[in-house]
Amino acid sequence: MKSSFRVFALLITVFTLLNISYAQAQRVSTPRGGKAGSWRVLGTVSASHSADHDVIVVKGPYDYFRKLKFKVTDSPVNMSRIIVRYEDGRPEELQTRFEIPKGGESRVIDLKGGRRKLKSVEFWYDTKGILNGKADVTLFGMK
């Protein structure tokens, strides 16, 4: 009986830690207004030196964007997968596999269908350059 309680307690602890780490990986953003054709910061995350992923949630009312790009500081980042979720909940997986150099930007990523109301952007990456510190990854959207 004691061993089954220990297993149960261990499972609860692991589940709680996983939920906490997932919650910390989400960043909620409220983009500022501005003219069409200008870039807006949608959020920034600090990337660790191992394979990781983060979610930037665009707080409603959701705003229309037609392009995305990433900017990186302090360390290069390999972007391996991006999933954009729109207001209606439908996901779009963007076929992207690229490296962003330290202090550099990604290519501009066009969203299918033109202007779309963003709900969140989830991305998987890994960093290089342990001596350079953690990379700050900033997501920009263009209206």
- Check: CB of residue 123 under 8 Å from CB of residue 97: no
Within a domain: 15: no
Q: How far apart are CA 40 and CA 61, in angstroms?
A: 16
User: What is residue 129's predicted lDDT score, i.e. its pLDDT?
Assistant: 59
Ramachandran bin of 4, using left for φ above 0, alpha for ψ from -120 to 50, beta for the remaining angles: alpha
Q: How far apart are CA 101 and CA 68, in angstroms?
A: 17
Within a domain: 68: yes
User: What is residue 74's predicted lDDT score, i.e. its pLDDT?
Assistant: 85
* Residues in contact with 104: Cβ distance below 8 Å, sequence separation at least 6, in sequence order: 71, 72, 76
User: What is residue 135's predicted lDDT score, i.e. its pLDDT?
Assistant: 86
Within a domain: 1: no
Within a domain: 8: no
Q: How far apart are CA 132 and CA 102, in angstroms?
A: 9
Q: 59 is written with which tokens?
A: 């707080």
CATH at 82? 2.60.120.1300
Within a domain: 135: yes
User: What is residue 133's predicted lDDT score, i.e. its pLDDT?
Assistant: 67
Q: How far apart are CA 51 and CA 86, in angstroms?
A: 25
Domain that holds residue 104: 26-142
Q: Which pTM was predicted?
A: 0.73
Q: What are phi and psi of 75, to 5 degrees?
A: -160, 145
Block means of pLDDT (10 residues each) for the chain, 143 residues, are 56 43 52 74 84 84 84 90 90 89 93 83 82 82 88
Domain count, the chain: 1
